[in-house]
A and B are shown apart, each in its own frame.
Chain A
Amino acid sequence: MLAIIIAVVVVAILAIWAVVQYNKLVSLRNTVDESFGQIDTQLQRRFDLIPNLVNTVKEYARHETSVFEAVTNARAEASKAIASHSGQGLAKADRLLNDATMRINAVAEAYPDLKASSNFGQLQEELASTENKVAFSRQAYNDSVNDYNTKREQFPSSIIAGIFKFSKRDMFVVEDESVRKAPKVDFS
């Protein structure tokens, strides 16, 4: 009789432990998915800002048509890359949008009136901040992937991860050095 009670208690404890570990893994995995969605959102926001920037710059630098064309093309390509919703696609979009804004900013350098306009200043703050937001959501995503993968690989939660097939997630890797360095905004 005693042996049965002990066995039941042990099984019950193991079952509770398994449920707790399972839920923990699920919640970490959800965090990973959520933070991936944030990168997506922020890139989209950056994508939406580019036409505003182009229009503002156009007012002052009408004849720089080749740049505007290149930027429009890059934006179209970035749109496709974002639509793929894959890590590689997002990294590509990130790179394209970054190049596009850098090109426009290079044009703006030659037009002091444009640089002095408050509209342009405000856009610059928005762009710089969205760029930071992309970088920070990428960082948060990588942190969450790290937490999830660690939990997944660590003993004894790895047993549960194995049984229920919690697959490994990949970090968001930025290959291009220019993307890794978010431009610095100094308002001092």
Chain B
Amino acid sequence: MDNAPAPIDRENFRVRLGKLKRGIAFSWVVNFILLTLTLEAAMIFIFMSEKLSNEQILGFLLVTTPLAAVVSAIAMAILSARSWKAIALELGTIEVDPRTQRYIENIVEEMALAAGLHGDELPQVGVINSREPNAFALAGRSGSLIGVTTGLLEITNREELQAVIAHEVGHLLTGDSKAMTKLIAMSSIVAVISGIGTRVFGGRGGDNKNPLAIVLIVLSLIFLIAAPFLSQLANASMQRKRESQADATAVRLTRNPSALATALRKIDGSYSSHSFSKKKNESVDQTAKQLAFFSRNAYRTHPPIEERVAQLKRMGADPTI
């Protein structure tokens, strides 16, 4: 807090925020279309007979396409209510001693206040038992949660933890956590449907095959196999922008770019000096790589540390960090 306040260009900030929100809306639409198409492809692949005439194919599509769209709309509505809790449950938070709990809650409240969030908007706090230093934010219609790992608590001082939490509050503030939480849940639905679709095959045979029907069935199979990757790709395109935007928000909230920069360095150093076990329950990356504050091997989704630190230096962080 005693650093000179970083010059903050609020106009520019808002323009970039607007771009990010449009980007999120875009990947949202892409995922909706993807889910609808996946359902459609699954229905074609499982149920459509290759003996149908062109008119019957048209009829089949006219019935199944609206059905697929309605089902994915319902899936999205359910996801917006439940996905964050489901993901939080899967990550598994632990109880910590009241003093540590209070310490984290205080920092989260401080950052929420700086962001103008209060009352119901105040995020819950969760601690994940993992030696990997990391943090994430989940959000849904009914609330939000900021998670930190025990590893992060170990290596950061108060200012650095504050900066990391401010970064996560930044995600909540732009609403991208909400979108990402749902997108991740949607990607898993797409993956499940494509998994089922490619395994269940309605037995077919006989003569009088319609080439158009065969083409459709083959295309469906190809789409079913590719869908999970396409979905990941649609999400990944948003990731880097989200991260640098959240870093900028963190600086706006803490007015302390140096703390975030040193936190990034410490986390990076910690990853270099340990080889973290890849056991499932010890690795946050397994489940929520896309949500995590820091991801070492996911340069596709996170800007490299050097880039993030350089951006922070431009915002006024100590140039020697």
Residue of B nearest to A140 (CB): B116
User: Please, what's the 1-or-0 string for A102-131, where 1 marks a CB less than 8 Å from any CB in chain B?
Assistant: 000000000000000010001001100100
CB of A78 to closest CB in B, whole Å: 20
Could you tell me if B102 and A146 are in contact, using CB atoms closer than 8 angstroms?
no
How far is it, in angstroms, between the C-alpha of A139 and the C-alpha of B111 when the chains are bound? Answer: 11
Tell which of B2, B10, B113, B158 touches A133, judged by Cβ atoms closer than 8 Å.
B113
Residue of A nearest to B255 (CB): A139
How far is it, in angstroms, between the C-alpha of A186 and the C-alpha of B162 when the chains are bound? Answer: 12
Q: Tell me if A184 counts as interface (CB < 8 A to partner B).
A: yes
Could you tell me if B99 and A122 are in contact, using CB atoms closer than 8 angstroms?
yes
Could you tell me if B113 and A129 are in contact, using CB atoms closer than 8 angstroms?
no
Q: Tell me if A81 counts as interface (CB < 8 A to partner B).
A: no
How far is it, in angstroms, between the C-alpha of A186 and the C-alpha of B2 when the chains are bound? Answer: 13
Contact A136 to B110, CB < 8 A, known contacts A144-B116, A181-B2: yes
Chain A residues, Cβ within 8 Å of B282: none
Residue of A nearest to B118 (CB): A38
How far is it, in angstroms, between the C-alpha of A103 and the C-alpha of B159 when the chains are bound? Answer: 24
Of residues 70 through 93 on chain B, the ones whose CB sits less than 8 Å from some CB of chain A are: none
Report the count of interface residues on A (CB-CB < 8 A).
28
Interface of A, secondary structure class, is: helix
Could you tell me if B106 and A42 are in contact, using CB atoms closer than 8 angstroms?
no
Could you tell me if B116 and A135 are in contact, using CB atoms closer than 8 angstroms?
no
Report the count of interface residues on B (CB-CB < 8 A).
21
Of residues 152 through 175 on chain B, the ones whose CB sits less than 8 Å from some CB of chain A are: 157-159
How far is it, in angstroms, between the C-alpha of A38 and the C-alpha of B122 when the chains are bound? Answer: 13
Q: When A and B form their complex, what is the total count of cross-chain residue pairs whose Cβ atoms lie within 8 Å?
A: 62
How far is it, in angstroms, between the C-alpha of A188 and the C-alpha of B262 when the chains are bound? Answer: 13
How far is it, in angstroms, between the C-alpha of A9 and the C-alpha of B27 when the chains are bound? Answer: 35
Of residues 281 through 319 on chain B, the ones whose CB sits less than 8 Å from some CB of chain A are: none
Tell which of B10, B109, B157, B255 touches A187, judged by Cβ atoms closer than 8 Å.
B157
Could you tell me if A129 and B116 are in contact, using CB atoms closer than 8 angstroms?
no
Residue of A nearest to B111 (CB): A136
Q: Tell me if B6 counts as interface (CB < 8 A to partner A).
A: no
Could you tell me if A187 and B158 are in contact, using CB atoms closer than 8 angstroms?
yes
Could you tell me if A188 and B157 are in contact, using CB atoms closer than 8 angstroms?
yes
How far is it, in angstroms, between the C-alpha of A144 and the C-alpha of B115 when the chains are bound? Answer: 10
Could you tell me if A42 and B107 are in contact, using CB atoms closer than 8 angstroms?
no
Chain B residues, Cβ within 8 Å of A42: 113
Q: Tell me if A137 counts as interface (CB < 8 A to partner B).
A: yes
Q: Tell me if A21 counts as interface (CB < 8 A to partner B).
A: no
User: Please, what's the 1-or-0 string for A27-51, where 1 marks a CB less than 8 Å from any CB in chain B?
Assistant: 0000100110010001000000000
User: Please, what's the 1-or-0 string for A165-188, where 1 marks a CB less than 8 Å from any CB in chain B?
Assistant: 000000000000000011011111
Residue of B nearest to A35 (CB): B116
Chain A residues, Cβ within 8 Å of B159: 184, 186
Chain A residues, Cβ within 8 Å of B115: 140
Chain A residues, Cβ within 8 Å of B26: none
User: Please, what's the 1-or-0 string for B168-210, where 1 marks a CB less than 8 Å from any CB in chain A?
Assistant: 0000000000000000000000000000000000000000000
Going nearest first, the 6 A-B pairs with the smallest beta carbon separation are A129-B106, A188-B157, A136-B114, A136-B113, A137-B113, A140-B116
16 additional A-B residue pairs with CB within 8 Å, beyond A34-B118, A139-B114: A35-B116, A38-B118, A125-B102, A125-B106, A126-B102, A129-B110, A132-B110, A133-B110, A137-B114, A140-B113, A143-B116, A147-B10, A182-B1, A186-B158, A187-B103, A187-B158
Provide a sorted-by-A list of 30 A–B residue pairs whose CB atoms are within 8 angstroms. A31-B116, A34-B116, A34-B118, A35-B116, A42-B113, A126-B102, A129-B110, A132-B106, A133-B109, A133-B110, A135-B1, A136-B110, A136-B111, A136-B253, A137-B114, A139-B255, A140-B115, A140-B116, A143-B10, A144-B116, A147-B10, A181-B2, A184-B1, A184-B159, A186-B157, A186-B159, A187-B103, A187-B157, A188-B157, A188-B158
